[in-house]
Chains A and B, each alone.
Chain A
C-alpha cells in the first residue's frame, strides 16, 4: 500500500512562500484569493498490507523525519 503524507507549516508559522504565491495569483487577476499556504506531499510505498499498521508506520516516519514537528504538522492517508 501507499502512504500519502501531507506536510504543512503549522498555523502561526510564517509562510512567505504561500504569501508570495497568493500575491502572484492576485497579480494574475484571480479575484478573491485569501490566505495561501504551501506545503509538500510525500508518497511512500509500503510492503505492509494492514492499513492500521501502515498508518502507524507512516506516522512514525513523519514524526522522525518527514516533518519537523517544531514548525510543521502532518496528515497521513493510506491508499490501497
Chain B
C-alpha cells in the first residue's frame, strides 16, 4: 500500500499518523505538502489532525479551498481511499466529500480525553480487523466535534449503513453520557457512499503501540493496509 499524508499549515498530527501507517504497512508514507497537486501512485490519502490555517472562519474551511484539495477530490472520484481524522474529518466535510457539519462541542469545552467507539460496520476496508459491534478505546482532542446533519441526511446515512463508529460506553451502550461532544445519534465517524472515504473525530493513530498505552487503534491501520496490499 502506498499512503500519503497531506500536510497543511497548522496540522500537528502528521507524525503520529506516519508512525501508525508505518507500523502497519512496514514502510513510511509519503508526506504531501498542501501546495502540491499530484497524488498519482497513492492508494490511500490521509488528512491528519491539527488546526489547519488556525481554524480560521470555520475548522477546515480554509484547507478545503487549498490547491491539493482538487487532487484529493479527483482521487476520491476515481474510487481512491481517503481517511480524515479530527481536523482531517472537518476538512473532508467542508470540502463536501462527506455530508453534515461539525459544530462546537456541546458544553463549549475542548475535550482532551479517551473515548470509546463502537464499530457499527466491520465489513469496510478500514474496519475489517475489528469485530462487528466491538468497542475500542481512542483518544480524542477537539473543540469542534459535535456532528450535525439535517434529520433526512442522518436517516440516509443510517439507511445506507454509512455510520461506521459511534461514541459508546466501554461496554458498548450508546448513551448520552458517552457522547461528550453532543454529536447527533452519537456519531463519531461516517463514510462516503462507496465506503472508501472515512472521517472520524477521535485519534486511532495515537493508540497503535503498547508504549502508547494500548493498540486499540491498530486494527484500523491493519485493515486498510491489508485491503490495499499490492
Docked CA distance A17–B148 (Å): 16
Docked CA distance A5–B78 (Å): 37
Contact between chains at B149 and A70 (CB < 8 Å): yes
Docked CA distance A51–B44 (Å): 47
B142: min CB distance to chain A, Å: 14
Residue B34 at the A interface, CB < 8 A? Answer: no
Docked CA distance A13–B105 (Å): 12
B149 partner residues in chain A, CB cutoff 8 A: 70
B61 partner residues in chain A, CB cutoff 8 A: 65, 68
Name A7-43 residues within 8 Å CB distance of B.
13-14, 16-17, 20
A80: min CB distance to chain B, Å: 26
Contact with B along A59-80 (1 / 0, CB 8 A): 0000001101011000000000
Docked CA distance A71–B108 (Å): 17
Residue B65 at the A interface, CB < 8 A? Answer: yes
Which of these, B65, B103, B106, B107, contacts A71 with CB under 8 Å?
A: B103
Which of these, A16, A66, A70, contacts B104 with CB under 8 Å?
A: A16
Given contacts A65-B57, A68-B94, contact A13 B148 (CB under 8 A): yes
Residue B58 at the A interface, CB < 8 A? Answer: yes
Contact between chains at A70 and B108 (CB < 8 Å): no
Which of these, B65, B103, B107, B148, contacts A65 with CB under 8 Å?
A: B65
Task: Give the number of residues in B that approach A within 8 Å (Cβ atoms).
Answer: 19
Given contacts A65-B57, A68-B61, contact A16 B101 (CB under 8 A): no
Q: Find the residue from A65, A66, A70, A71 having the highest chain B CB count within 10 A.
A: A70
Docked CA distance A10–B203 (Å): 30
B104 partner residues in chain A, CB cutoff 8 A: 16-17
A70 partner residues in chain B, CB cutoff 8 A: 99-101, 148-150
A17 partner residues in chain B, CB cutoff 8 A: 104, 108
A16 partner residues in chain B, CB cutoff 8 A: 104-108
Residue B217 at the A interface, CB < 8 A? Answer: no
A16: min CB distance to chain B, Å: 5
Residue B84 at the A interface, CB < 8 A? Answer: no
B58 partner residues in chain A, CB cutoff 8 A: 68
